[in-house]
A and B are shown apart, each in its own frame.
Chain A
Amino acid sequence: MTKTVTDVICPFCGTLCDDIEVVLSDDGKKIVEVMNACAIGNEKFHHSQAADRPKRPRMQQPDGSYKEVSYDEAVEFTAQMFAKSKKPLMYGWSSTNCEAQSVGHQIAELTGAVVDNTATVCHGTTLIAVQDVGIPSCTLGEIKNRADRIIYWGCNPAHAHPRHMSRYSIFPRGFFTGKGQASRKVIVVDPRPTDTSNMADYYYQVEQGRDYELLQAFRTALHGHPLPDTVAGIPKEKIYEGAEVMKSGRFGIIFFGMGVTQTLSKNHNIDAAIMLTKDLNEFSKYSIMPMRGHYNVTGSGEVLGWQFGFPYAVDLSRGIARYNPGDTTSNDLLRRGEVDAVFVIASDPGAHFPISSVKKIAKLPSVAVDPHFTPTTEICKLHVPVAFVGIECGGNAYRMDNVPIDTRKVVEPPEGMLTDEQFLEKVLHRVRELKGAA
């Protein structure tokens, strides 16, 4: 007889669906079926049981090949790397739990590291904007229960957060939104037509790199001020129309993603979008929310925030915490050759960083902690595979709206495999010995 585990939390994206059901074999060892997850989540659960999964650490050899080593050797190598380093970079954190992040921070505080997470190439610019102008926001249930105006600006949830629209934003029937989709109007802003823009009631094909100008134009249109004939390729009539649609709702939400966080203007785009949201509160009730990518990048920001005061790019090298994107961010540190060791965990900079940064990582003492084979693991000196959080061990994670959900363990990890937290505890213990700070 199979067993079904319910209320499972999917450890992939910031939507952090917690209604997944996993059907296990009799002996509880194999994942037979995954229900309610989207295609991506489904694949993550099944892929965790792929036969060719790395089971033990692998050390890079002089000829570029990899040889299997024990966890003890991996711990020793990692601890030695930290102990010898003047300024290590500890990057990633977004696909593991808060408990592991916290242990990592202890290593960072002890060794004077820079702790940075994937926001550095993603929603870090959102965080900069929030630091400049604040952020009126809410939890996803408020959207489900109240919202009648949904705006997707520079994001494509149909592809990147597949269940977002059905769980939270367009389709659900909530307390005050019994008519579901029929009671909502959808606005999409994107330079490219996408599967998301196909669902829009109003679609603005903004000129690339001109979101900032268009956002400011919407703001000024709210108050009926004059505009040039077109802004960002959009005729002013459409801008005034859009402003009226926004104002006429009783509860609106702006969701946004990389289309505005990582294009020209970056944080200024988000700044203007936040100010548009604030302005809309003069007429109606509006909130704004970033579509966080990894399932626990928000958590990394929260833990760094309460322990050190900043959400990413935290430089602990002088015994205090300092923060300044452009200086303390991973790609700037790598570009300028300012770090002498790189520890990557729960992320894949090999795939997501500029190739010039990846080349720098390849030349430095480096460790990659990751259950998968990735472009990162193939250029680091040591690859340490670990258990999948949310599948083989539990631990807390934070959703895109900052709601904390404790992930579940569904199956045992492969025999003898450590979790992120366990590996980091061993490294911490050994670094303390090496630094005489036991």
Chain B
Amino acid sequence: MSEYLIKNGFVFDPTQKLKGDQADVAIKDGKIVDKVANPKVIDAKGMTVMAGALEVHAHVAGPKVNIGRIYRPEDKLFTFRPTEGSHHMEGGFSIPTTYKTGYAYARLGYTTVMEAAMPPLFARHVHEEIRDTPIIDEGAFPVFGNNWFVLEYIKNKELENTAAYIAWLLRVTKGFAVKVVNPGGTEAWGWGLNCLQIKDPVPYFDVTPEEIVKGLIEANEHLGLPHSMHIHGNNLGNPGNYTTTLDTLKLASGYKAKNKFGREQVMHHTHIQFHSYGGTKWADFESKARPVADYVNKHKNITIDVGFVTLDETTTMTADGPFEHHLTELNHLKWANADVELETAAGVVPYIYSPDVFVSGIQWAVGLEIALLSKDPMRCYITTDHPNAGPFTRYPRIMKWLMSQKARDEQIKAFKASDKVVAQSEIANIDRELTLYEIAQMTRAGPAKCLGLSGIYGGLKPGLDADVAVYDFNPEKEHKPMEIEDAFSEVKYLWKTGVPIIMDRKFVSEGKKRTLWVDAKVADNPQVMRDVKEKFVKYYTVTEKNYEVTGKHFIPNPYAIEVDATH
């Protein structure tokens, strides 16, 4: 098979502690290797070389994403890049079409993306969209935190049953990890209610978010899954919610990660920017990034991704149904809602993060503060909770802000209520500028390790998959901030699993993407199988046999990560 040698580039690779060293990268048969015999040579002199990046949390495939697309024709107006031969047309600003999603991530140098929330009943839809997203490997996280089976098993303190159900659901939906969104609160939303604090009981099921979170952490470690429980905590978006976040983070205390994938965290808290607010109402809304970042710094069994606000008009979409209803009551923009029987819900509302509104300015500051106050870039990742805080196509802009205090100052000056933003946040006082090495930790090695995929992705160590990105950016030169954003907006070269995808900025192939899922083998559990059978007969509106995702038309190229949890 094909051999490539990428010579003379400045390599940033935390898996080999390369901090911009000039080094060669060799590719053979889809993997990074030490040596090649007869390669095609690419001269990367004066350029930055990194592994393909990993997106640990984005809403890119599935029913609520498509509701967003379908109900926002205006999001596509004048945005299209036309069809070019076999390269599909690309459209949509905040909710790109699946074709654009794949191409746009590839352009940024991203090669593996995790769909953040899959409602199990809609797994087929998620997989169809994943199939129609070119180039990038993808996995999807089924949601568990409001699932009737899980609520009952956890109430009854049945760890084995919880674990067996998780393993079963991951297999029938071809899912990757245990996702929890607004635990308990989204089931309460089935009645128009919510659970804002971790001790608020779920109506009828009489179990609390605290119990749900701990129960799922225990089940996750009992199974030894590659990724940890991945949580969007209660009380998202509200002033003063940082206390709920600290309560949630504390639930990880005392748990140790148990797995064969190198993962060290037991809890991944996602888009933590939305959960780090102080104040009591909008007028005194302020940043509480510091206490949250401090807690995460001190507790090494927790990882986070930020959810940076990009100051765009975007579309919010989340399984936190009650939050979305709350948001439409605030901004009065069109609201879509989709409650899912026995499982979860979703809501979609457009949102404008305007530089003229001081709350948006503070939200922007909170994200940056969290990243700049984080001591371990291997445990803090770059995301925008796409598209909630902004589209993923803004990652280069976020890099610019993280790497340049000057760029941050320019943005602060551009706020209409600049004084208020400065007074109610800390951003103006932070002068730290992240390095490219730290960015590589936050976008490559860190996310790979957190997902339990460091044996495959996230670095350029020989043996890993040959996912390689080359940017026309010389790290040894001085740069204006905008040059950082421009340079990282488009790779010059990209390989995925050793196949050239982008050569000299042109797409040359779409590769052969894979759908990652976790196949956890557990001991037979007749009780859970009986419960499953009963609920399908009595409460679901599809049959048990029609629930499972099977067939190449959904998953043409599956990549199962095996876990032996038979104990």
- Cβ of A278 under 8 Å from chain B: yes
Do the beta carbons of B336 and A318 come within 8 Å of each other? no
Contact A135 B541, CB 8 Å, known A130-B70, A306-B129, A320-B89: no
Q: Within the complex, what minimum Cβ distance (angstroms) separates B378 from chain A? A: 34
| Stretch binding the partner chain, chosen from B26-34, B153-161, B363-371, B546-554 | B546-554
- Cβ of B545 under 8 Å from chain A: yes
Q: Identify which of B63, B72, B334, B550 contacts A402 (C-beta below 8 A).
A: B63
Bound form: Cα–Cα A138–B344 in Å: 10
Do the beta carbons of B553 and A18 come within 8 Å of each other? no
- Cβ of B1 under 8 Å from chain A: no
**Contact mask for chain A residues 124-142; partner B; CB cutoff 8 A; 1 contact, 0 none:** 0001001111111111111
Bound form: Cα–Cα A395–B407 in Å: 52
Do the beta carbons of B128 and A321 come within 8 Å of each other? no
Smallest Cβ-Cβ distance to B62: which chain A residue: A306
- Cβ of B254 under 8 Å from chain A: no
- Cβ of B426 under 8 Å from chain A: no
- Cβ of A149 under 8 Å from chain B: no
Do the beta carbons of A308 and B97 come within 8 Å of each other? yes
Do the beta carbons of A127 and B341 come within 8 Å of each other? no
Residues of B within 8 A of A302 (CB): 66, 70, 125
- Cβ of B408 under 8 Å from chain A: no
Contact A140 B335, CB 8 Å, known A146-B190, A320-B82, A402-B63: no
Residues of A within 8 A of B540 (CB): 141
Q: Identify which of B341, B348, B349 contacts A144 (C-beta below 8 A).
A: B341
- Cβ of B280 under 8 Å from chain A: no
Q: Within the complex, what minimum Cβ distance (angstroms) separates B560 from chain A? A: 20
**Contact mask for chain B residues 310-348; partner A; CB cutoff 8 A; 1 contact, 0 none:** 000000000000000100100000111111111001001
Residues of B within 8 A of A301 (CB): 70
Do the beta carbons of A127 and B70 come within 8 Å of each other? yes
Bound form: Cα–Cα A437–B63 in Å: 33
- Cβ of B542 under 8 Å from chain A: yes
Do the beta carbons of B71 and A135 come within 8 Å of each other? yes
**Contact mask for chain B residues 77-95; partner A; CB cutoff 8 A; 1 contact, 0 none:** 0001111011011011000
- Cβ of A290 under 8 Å from chain B: no
Do the beta carbons of A141 and B341 come within 8 Å of each other? yes
Do the beta carbons of B553 and A405 come within 8 Å of each other? no
Do the beta carbons of A323 and B73 come within 8 Å of each other? yes
Contact A406 B124, CB 8 Å, known A137-B337, A310-B73: yes
Do the beta carbons of A305 and B546 come within 8 Å of each other? no
Bound form: Cα–Cα A19–B546 in Å: 9
Smallest Cβ-Cβ distance to A173: which chain B residue: B538
**Contact mask for chain A residues 316-335; partner B; CB cutoff 8 A; 1 contact, 0 none:** 10111101000000000000
- Cβ of A115 under 8 Å from chain B: no
| Stretch binding the partner chain, chosen from A200-208, A222-230, A279-287, A373-381 | A279-287
Q: Identify which of B70, B82, B125, B341 contacts A139 (C-beta below 8 A).
A: B341
- Cβ of A99 under 8 Å from chain B: yes
Residues of B within 8 A of A323 (CB): 73, 76
Contact A142 B192, CB 8 Å, known A127-B70, A131-B71, A135-B71: no
Residues of B within 8 A of A403 (CB): 121-122, 541-542
- Cβ of A174 under 8 Å from chain B: yes
Q: Within the complex, what minimum Cβ distance (angstroms) separates A186 from chain B? A: 19
Contacting B at CB under 8 A, from A141-166, are 141-142, 144-146
- Cβ of B98 under 8 Å from chain A: yes
Residues of B within 8 A of A109 (CB): 83, 88-89
Residues of A within 8 A of B553 (CB): 99, 395-396
Bound form: Cα–Cα A25–B148 in Å: 41
Q: How large is the interface on A (under 10, 10 to 19, 20 to 34, 35 or more residues)?
A: 35 or more
Do the beta carbons of B97 and A306 come within 8 Å of each other? yes
Do the beta carbons of B539 and A174 come within 8 Å of each other? yes
Q: Within the complex, what minimum Cβ distance (angstroms) separates A105 from chain B? A: 9
Do the beta carbons of A142 and B339 come within 8 Å of each other? yes
Do the beta carbons of A306 and B339 come within 8 Å of each other? no
Contacting B at CB under 8 A, from A398-435, are 398, 402-406
Q: Within the complex, what minimum Cβ distance (angstroms) separates A349 from chain B? A: 23
- Cβ of B401 under 8 Å from chain A: no
Do the beta carbons of B63 and A307 come within 8 Å of each other? no
Bound form: Cα–Cα A167–B543 in Å: 12
Smallest Cβ-Cβ distance to A172: which chain B residue: B541
- Cβ of A98 under 8 Å from chain B: yes
Q: Within the complex, what minimum Cβ distance (angstroms) separates A428 from chain B? A: 12
Do the beta carbons of A142 and B85 come within 8 Å of each other? no
Contact A305 B122, CB 8 Å, known A134-B348, A174-B539, A437-B85: no
Q: Within the complex, what minimum Cβ distance (angstroms) separates B1 from chain A? A: 25
Smallest Cβ-Cβ distance to A405: which chain B residue: B546
Contacting B at CB under 8 A, from A362-379, are none
Bound form: Cα–Cα A141–B540 in Å: 6
Contact A19 B543, CB 8 Å, known A142-B339, A287-B339, A402-B122: yes
**Contact mask for chain B residues 119-157; partner A; CB cutoff 8 A; 1 contact, 0 none:** 001101100110010000000000000001000000000
- Cβ of A6 under 8 Å from chain B: yes
Residues of B within 8 A of A396 (CB): 124, 128, 553-554
Bound form: Cα–Cα A319–B125 in Å: 26
Q: Identify which of B70, B92, B128, B541 contacts A98 (C-beta below 8 A).
A: B128
- Cβ of A343 under 8 Å from chain B: no
- Cβ of A359 under 8 Å from chain B: no
Residues of A within 8 A of B325 (CB): 281
Do the beta carbons of A142 and B97 come within 8 Å of each other? no
Residues of A within 8 A of B335 (CB): 134, 136, 278
- Cβ of A251 under 8 Å from chain B: yes
Do the beta carbons of B70 and A406 come within 8 Å of each other? no
Residues of A within 8 A of B191 (CB): 146, 250-251, 285
Bound form: Cα–Cα A38–B71 in Å: 33
Residues of A within 8 A of B86 (CB): 437
Do the beta carbons of A142 and B124 come within 8 Å of each other? no
- Cβ of B103 under 8 Å from chain A: no
Bound form: Cα–Cα A409–B388 in Å: 41
Do the beta carbons of B338 and A307 come within 8 Å of each other? no
Do the beta carbons of A306 and B66 come within 8 Å of each other? yes
Residues of B within 8 A of A132 (CB): 334
Q: Within the complex, what minimum Cβ distance (angstroms) separates A161 from chain B? A: 13
Residues of A within 8 A of B97 (CB): 306-309
Smallest Cβ-Cβ distance to A309: which chain B residue: B76
Smallest Cβ-Cβ distance to B539: which chain A residue: A175
Residues of B within 8 A of A311 (CB): 70
- Cβ of B69 under 8 Å from chain A: yes
Do the beta carbons of B541 and A167 come within 8 Å of each other? yes
- Cβ of A168 under 8 Å from chain B: yes
Q: Within the complex, what minimum Cβ distance (angstroms) separates A136 from chain B? A: 4
- Cβ of A361 under 8 Å from chain B: no
- Cβ of A102 under 8 Å from chain B: yes
Do the beta carbons of B70 and A310 come within 8 Å of each other? yes
Contacting B at CB under 8 A, from A166-225, are 167-168, 174-176
- Cβ of B495 under 8 Å from chain A: no
Smallest Cβ-Cβ distance to A7: which chain B residue: B545
Listed in ascending order, the chain A residues whose CB lies under 8 Å from chain B are 6-7, 9, 18-19, 98-99, 102, 109, 127, 130-142, 144-146, 167-168, 174-176, 250-251, 278, 281, 284-285, 287, 301-303, 305-311, 316, 318-321, 323, 394-396, 398, 402-406, 437
24 A-B pairs with CB atoms under 8 Å apart are: A6-B543, A7-B543, A19-B543, A130-B71, A131-B73, A131-B334, A134-B328, A134-B348, A135-B337, A139-B338, A174-B539, A287-B339, A301-B70, A308-B89, A308-B97, A320-B80, A320-B83, A395-B553, A396-B128, A396-B553, A398-B125, A403-B122, A405-B542, A406-B546
Listed in ascending order, the chain B residues whose CB lies under 8 Å from chain A are 61, 63, 65-67, 69-73, 75-76, 80-83, 85-86, 88-89, 91-92, 97-99, 121-122, 124-125, 128-129, 132, 148, 190-192, 204, 325, 328, 334-342, 345, 348-349, 538-543, 545-546, 550-551, 553-554
In order of increasing CB-CB distance, the 3 nearest A-B pairs are: A141-B341, A320-B80, A319-B82
Taking A144-B539, A175-B538 as known contacts, 10 extra A-B pairs with beta carbons closer than 8 A to each other, sorted by chain A number, are A102-B132, A142-B341, A251-B190, A278-B335, A287-B339, A307-B88, A309-B91, A309-B97, A320-B82, A396-B124
